[in-house]
Structure 1
Amino acid sequence: MQRYESYKPSDAAWLGNVPSHWDVQPLRAVTSLKSDKNRPDLPVLSVYREYGVILKDSRDDNHNATSLDTSTYKVVKPGDLVVNKMKAWQGSMGVSSHHGIVSPAYITCTTKADRVSPAYLHYLLRSSPLIGVYNSLSYGVRVGQWDMHYEDFKRIPIPLPPKDEQDRIVAFLDQKTAEIDAAIAKKERLIELLEEEKLALVNEAVTYGLNRAVSFKHSGIEWIEKIPSHWVVRKISHLFRLIGSGTTPASGNPAYYENGTSDWVNTGDLNDGVMVGEVKKVSNLALKAYSSLKAYPEGTLIVAMYGATIGKTGITSRVATVNQACCCLHGAEKISTRYAQLWFYGNKNNIVAMGYGGGQPNISQDLIRSLRIPTPPLPEQAAIVEFVDAQTRIIDQLIQSTRIGLIKLHQLKQTLIASMVTGKFNVSGGEQW
């Protein structure tokens, strides 16, 4: 695409030069703070980094509780700007297309339609260069609790093309981002299909083995109809000598974590394979203070019991401690640890279905102990592991290459938006992006 014929300094460090005919004004020139309330009859809205302002009930992954009394919630109309000031540094803001109410902790502003297109402002304020500005204006002890003050926010200088040019930029970005989003959706669907193929392959191997010509028998397990006749069904409590968990040292005491020397695995570290990367560490002081913070040997199989990672597994490559959301299995007898891991992977959906709790169910150590695994003879387990690892390695490579392509598409989208709303390219240049 062509650049504009001439540029001028914007006097804004984040922005650099802008087209000569563009204006640069503080954000307060096109927005006004508002705080209308007392409309509990309106639907509750939420602000997402990925989507902007949406109906809270339109997604099932928002676990923030809505107040019983929403009369103090702020009223938002189509065209209003909404900012989650605690997560502005992540880009959690947007111009609303809904009429509803938001948390009183959010910043809400009207936009001056004679000066700025709401859609242009939406693209601009969520662009990657400005997210860096919000980061520098946000303060707090913990990253997750950083706060950006409105007084700082309203002073941010923003580029303002003529209104008709804003509309052309929006039309261009709507078209191009829709094309990129369609390509993203195709890659995401491909990853889903590859993961389904991998799951089916593993499940079939640990359920029926590699030789379908053998005789079969009923498994006695609710979700597994039949298994090879020579396989033996055993409880996990009979297959591992050591089964336990861990704990979380008080986060308010830095001494438990500073200069830590012992690996401390959380469920987010689990990768359904052997864990070789770095994890958070705890200090010797923490080990002495918490008797439940046990060190488990290398080769321990860890199973996630709580939250979004429930059922995920990992095998340690070093001695490690764990938090209370992890169940540790060590000292395998009559089963290889890797085979047990594959069994958990192939049967994850059924295991999770046995959990208890609300939107994110939990499983317990007792439940894991009681699970029954059909176990082939050890040589047959080794053959199954070798076969599955070879086949899934190919699938994993395809998934990884697709994810790399997905990252590039997201980067392309962000670069395109940032380039257009900051005047790096002329939307009227007549060339294709």
Structure 2
Amino acid sequence: MAFPRYDSYRDAGVEWLGKIPSDWSLETIRAVTQLKSEKGQPDLQVLSVYREYGIIPKDSRDDNHNATSLDTAGYKVVSEGDLVVNKMKAWQGSMGVSEHTGIVSPAYITCKVNAKRVFPKFLHYLLRSQPYIGIYNALSYGVRVGQWDMHYEDFKHIPLPLPDRLSQERIANFLDQKTAEIDEAIAKKQRLIELLKEQKAILINQAVTKGLNPDVPMRDSGVEWIGEVPAHWEVKRLSFLAKLLQTGPFGSQLHQEEYIYGGIPIINPSQLANGIIIPDMETSVSEKTAERLSRHKTKVGDIIFARRGEMGRCGLTRLGQEGFICGTGSILFRPNELADSGFLNAALSCDFIKNNLEFVSVGATMDNLNTAILSKISVPVPPKTEQNRIVESVMLIEQEFSRIFSVQQQAIARLDEFRQVTISDTVTGKIKI
């Protein structure tokens, strides 16, 4: 859909803003807001500042792991319509005008918005638009990216192109509707991806527990959560399939201060996803430290298990990943000649294994896995040649679904880009609605 432009434009006098509609004014943040630092209301709900969602109640989501202080009397009070800025993450767009009353960290910038001069939701969209995020980036300082800080003295001078207040309200209402439509389209794509993931899991589960021949005679495996398996298959505990099964180094053997950037990767649970090892260059050690921990070095074909947190998370050591170090939170499993490592990795990544591991894991506050528990897990074991054929089939399934996922994710990226461009062009006057 093509939108019209305004009748005439003038130079904003600010390079990154370019031209703005001739009848729009140019104000600063300081001109339409007032810095506030009200405290002393610890009973109000705690609010969080999200890049994606703006200002929302902290307890409305379970992915915010920042601890709330035991004493919130020093937290800043936020009223509906106030501007809140996480100055440490402003460069990511972590700010917004709140639709809630509550309290936020005393480290945040809080401002009362002059609602007579600026429509709060318009300001919300404007300050979170892409051109402004680029400016926050330029105004943020620090040694490490995660610790960048933007000072209010710089923030308050940022210019704002403003139409009359009635037009601001009309633009905000338009963007509410338009972004809701785009968000729903994105949500449909994401739901489709989840359904496809379920379908993929079913196909892989079928291959590793029932084989590739639907007409083969079946028998009861003797393991409730495996069910029937082909009659010529065996069912074995992992202990009978292991050449090596050991936990990573104890905490006393590997300390946080020994981590370096760009060294030999340490494989902790966070580096395991969907049967794949994804090394993190910030979680690595020097060659000297790696040599000291040589008994924990991986070989091609080794499977690394997460031993805490999400049960069943594992990854196969592939070519180019040999010599990595199995981390403190992980278990190293080296299959013997009875099992193909690719087959075992596929089987051990299946939901029926994950569910069983969650059932037998130990831990009061977090599930924990150990070698004794893992060694007792039973898996179906076809003949070696059949394992190889199943691995090839699983690889084809993975490749086909990866292609489908890529198409859907590209569509989501295009929708998200359209969302950002629509917001930016509308609030800066590049298009007229």
2:374 pairs, out of 368, 378, 381, with: 368
Q: 2:243 aligns to what SS in structure 1? A: strand
Q: 1:224 aligns to what SS in structure 2? A: coil
Residue 391 of structure 2 corresponds to residue 385 of structure 1: yes
For 1:81 and 1:41, how far apart are their aligned partners in 2?
Answer: 21
**Partner residue, 1:313:** 315
Q: 1:12 aligns to what SS in structure 2? A: coil
**Partner residue, 1:430:** none
Cα deviation code 1:396-415 (max 9, x no counterpart): 21111101111111111111
Code of the aligned partner of 1:393 = Q
TM-aligned CA deviation for residue 279 of structure 1: 5.4
Code of the aligned partner of 2:319 = S
**Partner residue, 1:431:** none
For 1:9 and 1:148, how far apart are their aligned partners in 2?
Answer: 27
Structure 1 residues 157 and 310: alpha-carbon distance in aligned structure 2, compared to 1, 3 A threshold? farther
Structure 1 residues 166 and 358: alpha-carbon distance in aligned structure 2, compared to 1, 3 A threshold? farther
TM-aligned CA deviation for residue 111 of structure 1: 0.3
List alignment gaps of at least 5 residues for structure 1.
428-433
1:328 pairs, out of 304, 329, 332, with: 332
2:180 pairs, out of 166, 178, 181, with: 178
Q: 1:67 aligns to what SS in structure 2? A: coil
Residue 291 of structure 2 corresponds to residue 285 of structure 1: no
Deviates more, 1:319-328 or 1:35-44: 319-328
Q: 2:317 aligns to what SS in structure 1? A: strand
TM-aligned CA deviation for residue 85 of structure 1: 1.6
For 2:62 and 2:280, how far apart are their aligned partners in 1?
Answer: 32
**Partner residue, 1:353:** 358
TM-aligned CA deviation for residue 365 of structure 1: 4.3
List alignment gaps of at least 5 residues for structure 2.
none
After superposition, residues 16-415 of structure 1 pair within 5 angstroms as: 16-244=18-246, 246=248, 252=257, 256-257=260-261, 260=263, 262-272=264-274, 282-288=285-291, 290-291=292-293, 294-307=296-309, 311-318=313-320, 319-322=322-325, 323-347=327-351, 349-351=354-356, 353-354=358-359, 355-356=361-362, 361-415=367-421
Aligned partners of 1:10 and 1:24 also within 8 Å: yes
Code of the aligned partner of 1:342 = A
TM-aligned CA deviation for residue 150 of structure 1: 1.7
TM-aligned CA deviation for residue 298 of structure 1: 2.5
Code of the aligned partner of 1:151 = E
TM-aligned CA deviation for residue 180 of structure 1: 0.8
Aligned partners of 1:310 and 1:362 also within 8 Å: no
TM-aligned CA deviation for residue 90 of structure 1: 1.2
Structure 1 residues 89 and 292: alpha-carbon distance in aligned structure 2, compared to 1, 3 A threshold? farther
TM-aligned CA deviation for residue 226 of structure 1: 3.0
For 2:286 and 2:140, how far apart are their aligned partners in 1?
Answer: 31
For 1:185 and 1:155, how far apart are their aligned partners in 2?
Answer: 37
TM-aligned CA deviation for residue 277 of structure 1: 8.8
Structure 1 residues 307 and 148: alpha-carbon distance in aligned structure 2, compared to 1, 3 A threshold? farther
Q: 2:236 aligns to what SS in structure 1? A: strand
Code of the aligned partner of 1:111 = V
TM-score of the superposed pair, with normalisation by structure 2: 0.88
- C-alpha RMSD of the superposition: 2.7
Cα deviation code 1:6-35 (max 9, x no counterpart): 222223333222222212222111111112
TM-score of the superposed pair, with normalisation by structure 1: 0.88
For 2:278 and 2:47, how far apart are their aligned partners in 1?
Answer: 42
